Structure 1
């Protein structure tokens, strides 16, 4: 969970750098959290989604967190089974952190 948190902190940094005030940042954060949760496969299986929604689910970091939690709780998976998910989250962090930091420097 800590690894997931580190990999997803870019969302808050991006929202805060693109918003003009705190109210706008809170509204954007609520919007993205709702989209991330609804498209993650937490409430509906990803297999039953249309193709455009499956694409959104694949670029959604919450999807991988939900899959990891299901794998650990239901199947008792170990670190070797979760390696692919960790690499995907690491890829999210490597791609989005420099973008968020660059945008933060630009707005400062």
Structure 2
């Protein structure tokens, strides 16, 4: 029987690849540090770089509709807030003019 191959979790593979990518160190230096073969780590780095280059997942139709609804609601709330700010300023000004003593 041959030796059993080591298996690594996907998270470990991503973390090891990010160690190479983020630190700028060579694959061989990182491979020696973490005890992984250079070719194996090289494949992990290539996969991670390819994954990083992919655009984010597109939103589906339900998410797009929800996003449009929320944007419209947000715009309406902004207009309401602006109106209320102006109304509050008006009533503050009205209250100030009523409290000034009138000369008779």
Q: Which has the higher contact order (CA 8 A, sep 6+)?
A: 1
Higher radius of gyration, 1 or 2: 2
Range class of TM-score, shorter chain: under 0.3
Higher helix share: 1
